[in-house]
């Protein structure tokens, strides 16, 4: 644990202030949680089938065409997910002595559900102003969908299509391939972030002991495995798209076209591989969220990707992940690529048998001895330079994070006022883990309450850890 040594610094000021970390404020609140969970592979909606789609738009707001296209893509994904889910349940009725492949059955289910399902509704939507992408989520109640699937009219139409409407089956396979292609586009961005996270982990544990380094071998191995699976899926999907295009160009007889596309093992392997990828993404995302340092570091990677020309770093003077022993002074080096305002926050664990683990935030900088939190680009600021930070029990991993903004944080004056009123040397704020990761003590003005410049609201962050030990 990092101890704030009040005795050593008491004489340096008669007015000991600490800026309060205001809970409940988030710098990434504009990004919908449902969409983040979807990209992470952790979106878990009970009682419904769902699909998510997106489309680019031009200008400030999505137009009619982009809204329609994104909803169509969401409908395609919903029907794809449903056809894969119910295929095994209806296999006895639809697959006649091996006459039809599972992929043909899935395609017919996809086409029929896309045509006749009622009760599908738009659940969520979000226009991404930074990337000019409009997102939509559509859902249908699972019970309602399952009832429609099991109705004899629905089954009859699926069987009739299998027997007579081969062109629709081929079109369905093409649509389902497009859904898999759309999913891969989402995965690509996520995979890129994981690869950046992998490099960042290596940097963050550079000076750590072997025991600490070993804690991150597992997550590194999982990300590497995911990368291999992703590359395999990408190649399979590329081959499938090329094959479908070649077959369509040849304009072969429908019977031959169906045999070469729908009955091929490759398409079924694609569907299976896609499911494996989803499970791996979800597993890794859950493991990352279970480790506070990894969760914050992943958040740093996301922030950095949004502001590639604006960086901030925090490094323990003894090196990333270094060991500190009881009573030893702890110092951190903070540096930013451009002029900005910064906050440095220490996160410590509190175990409570009744409520589980929570986090306690302590603002290390700015502080009463150095209240000016503006730093110049390229300038180095030392946190703990007065010897006020020392290692003490309970020992273990201590996480320190820095957040930089090109405009001053909106909660500074209120924090000062509350700090003065509290009369405390250091004002700690206990918060749940989710709030810590989302906000890190950044005050954000309510929408429309202030006039903002183009740089306002541009935040980047960086996280480091040290390990405190007994002598």
Q: Which of 244, 268, 289 is the last residue of a domain?
A: 289
Range of the domain at 229: 33-289
Q: Which of 253, 274, 289 is the last residue of a domain?
A: 289
219 and 90, same domain (yes or no): yes
pLDDT at 354 over 70: no
pLDDT of residue 63: 92
Q: What is the mean pLDDT of residues 240-250?
A: 66
- The confidence band for 248, taking pLDDT boundaries of 50, 70 and 90, is low
41 and 89, same domain (yes or no): yes
258 and 298, same domain (yes or no): no
Write the CB contacts of 426 (distance below 8 Å, at least 6 apart in sequence).
4, 6, 18, 362, 363
34-50: per-residue pLDDT in tens? 988 887 777 888 899 89
220 and 255, same domain (yes or no): yes
263 and 222, same domain (yes or no): yes
Q: What percent of the chain has pLDDT over 90?
A: 18
138 and 234, same domain (yes or no): yes
User: 3-state secondary structure string, the chain?
Assistant: CEEECHHHHHHHCCCCCCCCCCCCCCCCCCCCHHHHHHHHCCCCCCCEEEEEEEEECCCCCCCHHHHHHHHHHHHHHHHHHHHHHHHCCCHHHHCCCCCCCHHHHHHHHHHHHHHHCCCCEEEEEEEECCCCEEEEEEEEEHHHHHHHHHCHHHHHHHHHHHHHCHHHHHHHHHHHHHHHHHHHHHHHHHHHHHHHHHHHHHHHCCCCCHHHHHCCHHHHHHHHHHHHHHHHHHHHHHHHHHHHHHHHHHCCCHHHHHHHHCCCHHHHHHHHHHHHHHHHHHHHHHHHHCCHHHHHHHHHHHHHHHCCCCCEEEEECCCCCCEEECCCECCEEEEECCCEEEEEEEEEEEEECCCEEEEEEEEEECECCECCCEECCCCEEEECCCCCEEECCCCEEEEEEEEEECCCCCCHHHHHHHHHHHCCCCCEEEECHHHHHHHCCCCCCCCCCCCCCCCCCCEEEEEEEEEEECC
Distance of CA 350 to the CA centre of its chain: 25
Q: State how far the Cα of 205 lies from the Cα of 194, in Å rounded to an integer.
A: 17
251-283: per-residue pLDDT in tens? 554 445 555 544 455 666 777 777 788 788 888
Q: What is the mean pLDDT of residues 299-315?
A: 87
pLDDT of residue 267: 64
pLDDT at 197 over 50: yes
**What is the pTM (predicted TM-score) of this model?**
0.70
108-138: per-residue pLDDT in tens? 888 888 887 788 899 999 998 878 999 999 9
305 and 353, same domain (yes or no): yes
Q: Rank 36-40, 55-59, 213-217, 448-452 by mean pLDDT and report only the highest.
A: 55-59
pLDDT of residue 376: 95
Q: Which of 289, 308, 323 is the last residue of a domain?
A: 289
282 and 368, same domain (yes or no): no
243 and 356, same domain (yes or no): no
pLDDT at 460 over 70: yes
**Domains identified in the chain, total number:** 2
95 and 167, same domain (yes or no): yes
């Amino acid at each position: 644990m990092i101890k704030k040594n009040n005795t050593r610094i008491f004489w340096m000021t008669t007015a000991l202030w600490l800026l309060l970390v205001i809970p409940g404020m988030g710098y990434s609140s504009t990004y919908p949680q449902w969409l983040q969970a979807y990209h992470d592979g952790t979106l878990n909606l009970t009682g419904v089938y769902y699909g998510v789609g997106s489309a680019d738009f031009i200008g400030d707001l999505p137009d009619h065409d982009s809204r329609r296209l994104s909803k169509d893509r969401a409908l395609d994904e919903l029907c794809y997910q449903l056809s894969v889910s119910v295929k095994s349940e209806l296999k006895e009725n639809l697959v006649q002595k091996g006459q039809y492949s599972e992929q043909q059955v899935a395609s017919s289910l996809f086409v029929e559900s896309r045509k006749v399902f009622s009760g599908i509704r738009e659940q969520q939507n979000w226009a991404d102003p930074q990337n000019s992408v409009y997102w939509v989520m559509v859902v249908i109640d699972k019970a309602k969908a399952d009832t429609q699937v099991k109705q004899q009219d629905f089954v009859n139409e699926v069987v009739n299509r299998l027997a007579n409407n081969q062109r629709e089956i081929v079109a369905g396979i093409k649509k389902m391939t497009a859904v898999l292609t759309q999913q891969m586009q989402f995965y690509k961005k996520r995979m890129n972030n994981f690869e950046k996270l992998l490099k960042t982990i290596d940097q963050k544990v550079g000076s750590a002991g072997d025991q600490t380094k070993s804690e991150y071998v597992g997550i590194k191995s999982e990300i590497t495995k995911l990368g291999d699976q992703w590359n395999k899926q990408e190649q399979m999907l590329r081959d499938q798209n090329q094959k479908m295009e070649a077959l369509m160009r040849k304009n072969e007889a429908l019977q031959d076209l169906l045999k070469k596309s729908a009955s091929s093992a490759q398409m079924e392997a694609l569907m299976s591989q896609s499911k494996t990828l989803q499970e791996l993404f979800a597993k890794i995302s859950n493991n990352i969220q279970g480790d506070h340092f990894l969760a914050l570091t992943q958040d740093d990677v996301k922030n950095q990707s949004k502001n590639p020309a604006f960086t901030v770093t925090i490094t323990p003077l003894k090196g990333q992940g270094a060991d500190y022993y009881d009573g030893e002074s702890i110092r951190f080096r903070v540096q930013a690529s451009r002029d900005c305002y910064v906050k440095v926050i220490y996160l410590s664990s509190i175990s409570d048998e009744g409520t589980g683990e929570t986090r306690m935030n302590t603002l290390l900088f700015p502080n009463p001895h150095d209240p000016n939190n503006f730093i110049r680009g390229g300038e180095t600021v030392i946190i703990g330079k007065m010897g006020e930070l020392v290692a003490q029990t309970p020992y273990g991993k201590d996480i320190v994070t820095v957040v930089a903004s090109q405009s001053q944080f909106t909660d500074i004056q209120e924090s000062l006022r509350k700090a003065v009123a509290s009369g405390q040397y250091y004002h700690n704020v206990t918060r749940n883990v989710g709030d810590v990761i989302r906000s890190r003590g950044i005050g954000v003005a309510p929408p429309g309450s202030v006039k903002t410049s183009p740089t306002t609201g541009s935040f980047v962050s960086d996280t480091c850890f040290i390990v405190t030990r007994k002598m």
